[in-house]
Amino acid sequence: MDDWHLIVGLGNPGPEYARTRHNAGFMLLDRLADHWQVAWQHEKRFQSRLGRTERNGRQLLLCQSQTFMNLSGVAVAALVKYYRLPLGRLLVVVDDADLPLGHLRLRPAGSSGGHHGLDSIERHLGSRQYPRLRIGIGRQDERREIAGYVLGRLTGAELAVMERVLARAQRQVECWLERGLQPAMNQFNGAVTAPNNEGIKQ
């Protein structure tokens, strides 16, 4: 197929999960779609909410899987197979409780770190060699059982931080598309600083 790039935001569908910490991936995809003026369509074939656009001569597909988090790999693998995508052109956006709120970490590959959405994608692709952008949501304490926390809604203070994080993540995704993975990692990984201190990283 054409030079497609696929950006997948992980989350759970439905209004009861809106603005929960586990839906950070969905939140970034909504922001990208708004900024790029991409219309969403529900496509049962891929069990996903999809948006298609073109940027800098590249065909771009945005995806919010509607399978629920633990089955994210079903939708992702179906899209990768249909569009014959090299895994280097797949970017998965995911929340990360082991990363502090306000931090971004883009990597070319890696383990799931116990994230069920990434576990599912790895199983269905048979590989962990695909880029992933982790959005930090932090954690309340060191307990491993954090389902209640990640499925809880962001507080007002957390939302204010998350808005700045998502704005920076949007620029990081655009950098990935325009300049490649390494420049996007070098310029945008790390903690989001106060707006008046970001300087050339805007």
Known active-site residue 124: no
Q: CA-CA distance, 169 to 175, in Å (whole number)?
A: 10
- C-alpha span between 159 and 186 (Å, rounded): 25
**Residue 20's Cα: distance from chain center in Å?**
14
- Residue carrying structure tokens 């909410």: 49
Residues 22, 103, 116, 124: which is the catalytic one?
22
177 neighbors 56 (Cβ within 8 angstroms)? yes
Is 152 within 8 Å of 159 (Cβ atoms)? no
What positions carry a catalytic annotation?
Answer: 22
